[in-house]
Amino acid sequence: MFIPHFEAMPKPDSPKIEKPLSVSEAKALQKQDAILSAALTLFAERGFHGTAVPDVAGLAKVGAGTIYRYFDSKEALVNGVFQQAKALLRDELLQDFDPQGDVREAFRLFWQRLTGFARRHPLEFRFLELQDHVPYLNDESRQLELQLLLPIHLFCQYARDQGIARDMNAGTLMAMIWGAVVGLFKAEHLGYLPAVTDDILFHAEQTCWDMFCRVPNPLPLHPAQPI
């Protein structure tokens, strides 16, 4: 029996030999993918607790029992979905990303990749951002979370050391900018905004850059910060 062990985080020491897959192995992979895809759809829409495993099976066109051939439990399934989505986001965001280059250009690239991800993979984006995953995430999932956060954090730090980014805690700035993107797409999804067009995204990028970078503020609230 070939059960494809779900893996979003290849070990660094695994030689990644490209074995030609047998027909049955290919089928198994397809089936696992159908299950993950169906689960993503329903989890993104109804949340973890709001989704019944047999419903996932139905959408994946698979027997309920089959899911348990691929995942130990519903919790393992949601971790699989999380890891696949998070790894995709990580790869799209950080592919050839050079945090030490031109800050303005890097910011633009980061923005385009993040918003591009939100548009091309709306289910993944909603699943990752609009849920509280903490209660069921396992160590591997947490690990992935950090793999994504750390480079971004370093970039913010670098931009700040360069005197370009605002003189604020890097994590705080990052949380606000990320939050702004999430807020934008959340409002679109909830119908509070018309579709987010390229034009809107262009202006939104400028807006977020103005958050990010040190600007001479034309209307300071107070001459100096009160203690």
Partner DNA sequence: CTAAACGGAATGAATGTTCATTCCGCACTT
Partner DNA sequence: AAGTGCGGAATGAACATTCATTCCGTTTAG
Instruction: Give the footprint of a second copy on this chain (CB under 8 A).
Output: 46-50, 104, 108, 130-132, 134-135, 149, 166-169, 171-184, 186-188, 190, 192-193, 196, 199-200, 202-211, 213, 215-221, 225-226
Q: Which does 206 bind (CB under 5 to 8 A by kind): a second copy, DNA, none?
A: a second copy
Min dist. Cβ of residue 205 to a second copy (A) = 7
Q: Which is nearer to a second copy, 21 or 52 (CB)?
A: 52
Q: Which is nearer to a second copy, 18 or 132 (CB)?
A: 132
Min dist. Cβ of residue 177 to DNA (A) = 35
Going by C-alpha positions, the residue among 66, 65, 68 that lies closest to residue 76 is 68
Cα(153)–Cα(169) distance, integer angstroms: 10
21 lines the binding site for DNA (CB under 7 A): no
Min dist. Cβ of residue 74 to DNA (A) = 3
Q: Helices 198-212 & 170-189, crossing angle to 10 degrees?
A: 160
Stretch that binds DNA, among 25-33, 116-124, 154-162, 209-217 (CB under 7 A): 25-33
For DNA, the binding residues in 56-115 under the rule CB under 7 A are: 57, 61-69, 73-75
Q: Which is nearer to a second copy, 101 or 183 (CB)?
A: 183
Q: Which is nearer to a second copy, 31 or 160 (CB)?
A: 160
Dihedral over alpha carbons 32, 34, 35, 41 (to 10 degrees)? 140
Going by C-alpha positions, the residue among 122, 130, 29, 39 that lies closest to residue 77 is 39
Cα(79)–Cα(92) distance, integer angstroms: 20
Q: Which does 190 bind (CB under 5 to 8 A by kind): a second copy, DNA, none?
A: a second copy
Min dist. Cβ of residue 138 to DNA (A) = 14
What does the buried/exposed string (b/e) look like for 134-154 if buried means 16 or more CB atoms within 10 Å of the residue's CB?
Answer: eebbeebbeebbeebeebbbe
Cα(20)–Cα(186) distance, integer angstroms: 42
Cα(44)–Cα(66) distance, integer angstroms: 21
Q: Which does 144 bind (CB under 5 to 8 A by kind): a second copy, DNA, none?
A: none
Min dist. Cβ of residue 175 to DNA (A) = 32
Dihedral over alpha carbons 102, 210, 166, 186 (to 10 degrees)? -100
Cα(133)–Cα(141) distance, integer angstroms: 10
Stretch that binds DNA, among 20-28, 84-92, 136-144, 155-163 (CB under 7 A): 20-28
Going by C-alpha positions, the residue among 174, 165, 148, 156 that lies closest to residue 93 is 148
Q: Which is nearer to a second copy, 73 or 207 (CB)?
A: 207
